[in-house]
Amino acid sequence: MPVIKDNVIMLDDGLASHKPTIHDILSIIEDSLTKAGVSYDRISVKGAELIIDDRKPSKKMLIEPKLFTCPHCGFVTVSEEEYWNHLKCHYFGF
């Protein structure tokens, strides 16, 4: 499985039955990125690394973090833990 770290994708080919060609890898990466909904301008090969040129932040990447909203009082937090802690206040009546 490819590991995506920043804009560099590292491939662990230790389990591969044959060493994939760079062309094989490119099509796998393009496929993965498309499935993940990642947009990119181009992919270039630099030694053993594939460099992906991102587009400017897409709308997808600008989506705000998941928000947890308290159904009782409208309290909003991005932390699920904080959300559950907050809910206890209602249930246990602090």
DSSP E strands in 49-91: the ranges are 49-54, 68-69, 76-77
Cβ distance to Zn ion smaller for residue 62 or 91: 91
Interaction between residue 75 and Zn ion (CB under 5 A): yes
Interaction between residue 68 and Zn ion (CB under 5 A): no
Per rule CB under 5 A, count of chain residues that contact Zn ion: 4
Do 67 and 76 contact (CB within 8 A), yes or no? yes
Interaction between residue 61 and Zn ion (CB under 5 A): no
Cβ distance to Zn ion smaller for residue 55 or 72: 72
Interaction between residue 26 and Zn ion (CB under 5 A): no
- Tokens representing 92 are 């246990």
Do 1 and 15 contact (CB within 8 A), yes or no? no
Do 26 and 49 contact (CB within 8 A), yes or no? no
Interaction between residue 72 and Zn ion (CB under 5 A): yes
CA dist 60 to 39, 81, 87, Å?
Answer: 10, 25, 30
| Segment contacting Zn ion by CB under 5 A, of 5-13, 22-30, 33-41, 71-79 | 71-79
Interaction between residue 88 and Zn ion (CB under 5 A): no
